[in-house]
Amino acid sequence: MLAAPSKPCHVTIVHRHPPSKLYSEEEMVDNICSSSSDEDIKSTNHNTEIEYKHDDENLQSEEFEETPLYAAILTYLSYAILCLFGWLRDFLRDSHIEKKRGALDPNATLGFVPLYQSYESFYTRNMYTRVRDIFNRPIASVPGAQFELTERISDDYNWTYRYTGKTINAINLGSYNYLGFAEKSGPCATDAINAIKTFGVGNCNSRIELGTQRYHVELERLLADFLHVESSIAFGMGFATNALNLPALASKGDLILSDEMNHVSLILGMRLSGATYQTFAHNDMKDLEKKLRAAIVHGHPRTNRPWKKIIIVVEGVYSMEGSICRLPELMQLKKKYKAYLYMDEAHSIGAMGKQGRGIVDYFGVDANEVDILMGTFTKSFGSAGGYIAGKKSLIDHIRVTSHANTYASSMSAPLVQQIMSSLKLLKCPEGKRRICQLADNTRYFRQKLVDMGFIVFGNKNSPVVPMLIYMPARVTRFNREMLRRGVAVVTVGFPATKLLDARVRFCISAAHTRQMLDTALMAIDEVGTDISLRYSTRHKSRRLREL
Amino acid sequence: MGSSMARGDIENLATDFFGLFESFKHAPFYHIIIEVSLLLAVVWLLFFRKPRPIEKKLTEKEKQELIDEWQPEPLVPPVDSNHPALNVRVLDGIVGKTVEIDGRKSLNFATFNFLNFVGNQRIADKAIQAVQKYGVGSCGPRGFYGTIDIHLELEERLAKFFSCEEGIIYSYGFSTIASIIPAYSKRNDILFVDEGVHYAIQKGVEASRSHVKWFRHNDINDLERLLAEQDVLDKKNPKKARTIRRFLIIEGLYVNYGDICPLPRMVELKYKYKYRIFIDESVSFGTIGQTGRGITEYYEYSIGSIGGFAVGSSFVVDHQRLSAQGYCFSASLPPLLAAAAIEALNIMEEDHTLLFETIMAKSKRLHKKLLSIKGYIINGDEISALKHLRLTNSLNTVGRLEEIVQFAQSRDITITVARYLTDEHHLPEPSIRLILNVEMTDEELEFLCTVLQEALVKVTA
């Protein structure tokens, strides 16, 4: 399940050069640029020369340490005990010794078939509800680097909540805000407000009928320019972009090879398309090659007919693992076996690469070589929606056959304006500063965690930082203790991850200052010592003050 | 004679056997082992070996040849550059009662803006306030700090508006119903679906992998027939029947046809045959008023915002918070859209009867006027604000309808041909979809009818 240990990652220590004003040489694109040039911007352009060396080994170094044996045993034991208690409680409830909490079926006595099988909701009743307070926490402010959580208290072990009306201020390590565009003031917000005044909020029709506004066309042109491709098309929802457009690209008689850690939207899209799909081991290029060869040589498993086409579906940055797809090797395989590549850059667009153009930028590959580039605007651009980019023939085909283009409502004006403003900002020094800040923050944070002795997965440059906790009780305690210390984190367990691999996932943002990261690291240090989370056998366990 | 010969033979045979037996006794041990194992081997070969197919073992060279020879299809087939998707009308400005195309303003009978909330100042102000408080995007799914207090407020308001226990909101109208159906209906369940439902429901039904039984559009007798058939099967196997869930999926007001579903009769049948009803009220919400209560909807249209929602009893709705893919795995609704929706609900509640009475009355008037134009077939209920216009039988082609649309555009009336993908389950006839905006005056409705009449003359000439 876990990949074989790769070479230990090398630490690149980045020295900051003294600030110098280089941006006067660059062209001002917009008001956005001129408004931000008034700030004292530390130029990190020199740093980018050092950091983004085109060195494959360095760029792809990832670590996936194996689960320590005692952690695995204890985790299984925890789940076994939880199951036992769950059965006991269910028994008590069924025999009316304990009151049944939760909602009851109004049709229960009328002879209807039960809506949910009791084993399906066993997990919900007995495990999820106990720890429900760590999920779905409502916030009362902009989800920036720091935010306000609404305080909610449960008097009956999370079956119901009441809101006290107060808010808790916390550092936000959970929201997808890689470039810090979740702002309520500033040039992007002002532009969005102007867009509402000019265009209203909704359009009430699909793109193909009467929903295409001039700003949609403008957005798609800007996006294609930004990505260095011929053409692009944007949709209102990232999830739907995958689910509704894969059927337009693949159909019965095609083969889709997808990475085993792909997102649910990709899997839904593959199922809806009617094509056959197989998974290959996560980021394992040898396995992929083996499957490609077998597919071409033997064809369809039952009829032996050759496949009409083969599409490889990968993600740029995997949101639960923190790993990056191996693009150079994928390009080689793709050329060798004449397959097509679909890359989902939901988490990597804006966040990776010297200019924020995603994984193609990170590896220095020509964007036109990847057949289908897909991404979302939710994470790095502070808006909502998704896009697909590539050659004009591809995009035209999608316009004609996509479900979302024909039936779904077109994007709302302020959301489009936010994307356009942030795209323009990325060309300015302010944008470049954010990209470098994110890279810097990522490396700093990851390095500190690893040095303290925690098991951290993934590529050292990916802003998604999963730290392994394994046991469900520790996961919950970690989350609650961190919040008590003013840091909001996202913890995930089964079924979002494998049973053993419950983890906490930090999302680093360019808006985080060094201070905030240090506060968070101190909290992690304390809580990590309290709960004994230093599992790593490759790195010595140390306290933060020793580093 | 036979017997004497037989006796002799038998004696010989017996002697032979005896001799054989004796020889066994004297044979060395290993000899016997070898003989027995050979015997067993023969028995195995004869009876137990499965005939193995001769495997085509390809050599590496042959494999490489196959790989080199294989040519995939191009990624996408060539596309007709005249397809309407590539030649859309580009709009400018607010798409309200009037719409601006290439600098010219025209009356808008094409967008789903029934209550004219698009461009409404109050809604825009509330949306601006939301941006100033929360920023633009929500930066995360509902489970991970993407739940903003304004979402919770909107869910409560929707539940109250429909007198239901709980509501749940989604960020995209299409994926609302497409996520809800698979959350409840799994492989073994049965879905009774009206043939005329729109594409999103068809996709939801496909994603659920359940058995689907389509019944003719709005034909309650056909539905009863299917239910009775299923009942017969159930009685044959009651144990299995107790594990199969049944759902009826209908629309309040059908987008593709403009007519209303016969809900009361369907509710009667519900208690008789024990199925659960999902109603998609995308178009009936906000336009019909009295019959507009249901379990699933999306309010992209009449409320002037974007997104979708579902309301119902807590028991039913809560399940979606963990099982609906479009809810759990997708970023939540941007707060400004939620704020716009709350304000629209406010307006609807303040104006409660007047707005809906007006729109129903105007729809009736328009229906009467359209009926008086000979040459058009009007589909749709008379109180429905959404109507489909068709030409009589053989004349009804997309080409002619497009001509009508273009002519209307030249006279500053914007209408549109209803667009569908070719793989719809039950492709509706080509039609022009007319949508009434509550703020249209009677003169404007007259003007629309005049233009339609002139267009008809031009097209059928």
Q: Which of B426, B94, B438, B84 lies closest to A413, judged by CA?
A: B94
Contact B315 A490 (CB under 8 A): no
Residues 90-119 of A with CB under 8 A from B: 102-107, 110-116
Q: Which of B277, B281, B280, B307 lies closest to B175, judged by CA?
A: B307
Which helix (DSSP H) or strand (DSSP E) does residue B265 occupy? helix B263-273
Beta-sheet pairing, B296-297 with B308-312:
antiparallel
Contact B331 A378 (CB under 8 A): yes
Residues 62-91 of B with CB under 8 A from A: 63, 66-67, 70-73, 75-81, 83-86, 88-91
- Give start-end residues of each CATH 3.40.640.10 domain in chain B: 120-348
- Give start-end residues of each CATH 3.90.1150.10 domain in chain B: 90-117+352-460
The shortest C-alpha distance from B434 to chain A (Å) reads: 12
Question: What local confidence, expressed as pLDDT, does residue A53 receive?
Answer: 41
Residue A57 has pLDDT above 70, yes or no: no
Higher pLDDT, B299 or A293: A293
Residue A108 has pLDDT above 80, yes or no: no
Question: What local confidence, expressed as pLDDT, does residue B102 receive?
Answer: 85
Contact B274 A384 (CB under 8 A): no
d(CA B288, CA B383): 7
Q: Which of A142, A88, A39, A34 lies closest to A382, judged by CA?
A: A142
For range A434-446, the mean pLDDT: 93
Contact B79 A396 (CB under 8 A): yes
- Closest CB to A201 among B326, B340, B419: B340
Question: What local confidence, expressed as pLDDT, does residue A339 receive?
Answer: 93
Contact B79 A197 (CB under 8 A): no
- Closest CB to B172 among A137, A236, A263: A236
Kindly indicate the confidence band of residue A540, based on its pLDDT and cuts at 50, 70 and 90.
confident
Question: What local confidence, expressed as pLDDT, does residue B5 receive?
Answer: 63
Q: Which residues of B touch A179 (CB under 8 A)?
A: none
- Cβ of residue B149 closer than 8 Å to a chain A Cβ: yes
Residue A30 has pLDDT above 60, yes or no: no
Q: Which residues of A touch B81 (CB under 8 A)?
A: 396
d(CA B178, CA B296): 11
Contact B325 A310 (CB under 8 A): no
This model of the complex carries an ipTM of 0.84
d(CA A285, CA A332): 10
Kindly indicate the confidence band of residue A288, based on its pLDDT and cuts at 50, 70 and 90.
very high
Question: Fold for domain B120-348?
Answer: Aspartate Aminotransferase; domain 2 (3.40.640)
- Cβ of residue A164 closer than 8 Å to a chain B Cβ: no
For range A92-106, the mean pLDDT: 76
d(CA B399, CA B249): 33
In what order do the strands lie in the sheet containing B98-101?
A: B91-92, B98-101, B104-108, B413-414
Q: How many residues does chain B have?
A: 461
Amino acid at B250: I
d(CA B59, CA B120): 72
Q: How many residues does chain A have?
A: 547
- Cβ of residue A159 closer than 8 Å to a chain B Cβ: no
Q: Which residues of B touch A320 (CB under 8 A)?
A: none
Contact A399 B86 (CB under 8 A): yes
Question: What local confidence, expressed as pLDDT, does residue B4 receive?
Answer: 59
What percent of chain B clears pLDDT 70, i.e. is strictly above it? 93
Picking from A158, A161, A205, A418 by the largest number of B CB atoms within 10 A of its own CB, the best residue to mutate is A205
Which helix (DSSP H) or strand (DSSP E) does residue A390 occupy? strand A386-390
- Cβ of residue B99 closer than 8 Å to a chain A Cβ: yes
The shortest C-alpha distance from A362 to chain B (Å) reads: 23
What b/e string do you get for B23-43 counting C-beta neighbours within 10 Å, with b at 16 or more? Answer: eeeeeeeeeeeeeeeeeeeee
Q: What does each of the 461 residues of chain B score in pLDDT, given as a tens digit?
A: 555 567 778 888 888 888 887 877 777 888 889 999 999 999 998 888 777 776 667 788 888 888 888 888 888 888 888 888 888 888 888 888 888 888 888 888 888 888 888 878 899 999 999 999 999 988 889 889 989 999 999 999 888 888 788 888 888 888 888 888 888 888 889 999 999 888 888 988 988 889 999 999 989 899 999 999 988 988 898 888 888 888 988 888 888 888 888 777 887 888 888 888 888 877 777 676 543 333 333 334 455 566 777 777 777 788 888 778 888 888 888 888 889 888 888 887 776 667 777 888 888 899 998 888 888 888 888 878 888 988 887 778 888 888 888 898 888 888 888 888 887 888 888 888 888 888 888 898 899 989 988 888 888 87
**pLDDT tens-digit readout, B350-360:** 766 677 778 88
Q: What domains lie within chain A, and their CATH numbers? A: 67-179+432-547 (3.90.1150.10), 204-409 (3.40.640.10)
State in Å, rounded, how far the first CA of chain B is from the last one: 112
The shortest C-alpha distance from B38 to chain A (Å) reads: 39
The shortest C-alpha distance from A107 to chain B (Å) reads: 9
Residue A21 has pLDDT above 70, yes or no: no
For range A526-536, the mean pLDDT: 90
Q: What is the DSSP letter of A209?
A: I
Residues 22-51 of A with CB under 8 A from B: none
Beta-strand (E) ranges in A446-522?
458-459, 464-470, 487-488, 490-492, 502-507
Q: Which residues of B touch A138 (CB under 8 A)?
A: 147-149, 151-152
Q: Which of A14, A39, A83, A45 lies closest to A494, judged by CA?
A: A83
Q: What contacts A36, CB < 8 A, 6 or more positions away?
A: A187, A425, A428, A429, A430
Residue A373 has pLDDT above 70, yes or no: yes
Is the bond leading into B141 cis (omega within 30 degrees of zero)? no
- Cβ of residue B207 closer than 8 Å to a chain A Cβ: yes
- Cβ of residue A124 closer than 8 Å to a chain B Cβ: yes
Question: What local confidence, expressed as pLDDT, does residue A184 receive?
Answer: 87
Mean pLDDT of chain A: 84
Contact A210 B111 (CB under 8 A): yes
Question: What local confidence, expressed as pLDDT, does residue A520 receive?
Answer: 94
Residue A195 has pLDDT above 50, yes or no: yes
Contact A136 B143 (CB under 8 A): yes
Four-way CATH pick for B90-117+352-460: 3.90.1150.10, 3.30.390.30, 3.40.50.2300, 3.30.70.60: 3.90.1150.10
Angle at A371 between CA A369 and CA A377, to 5 degrees: 105
Q: Which residues of B touch A401 (CB under 8 A)?
A: 421
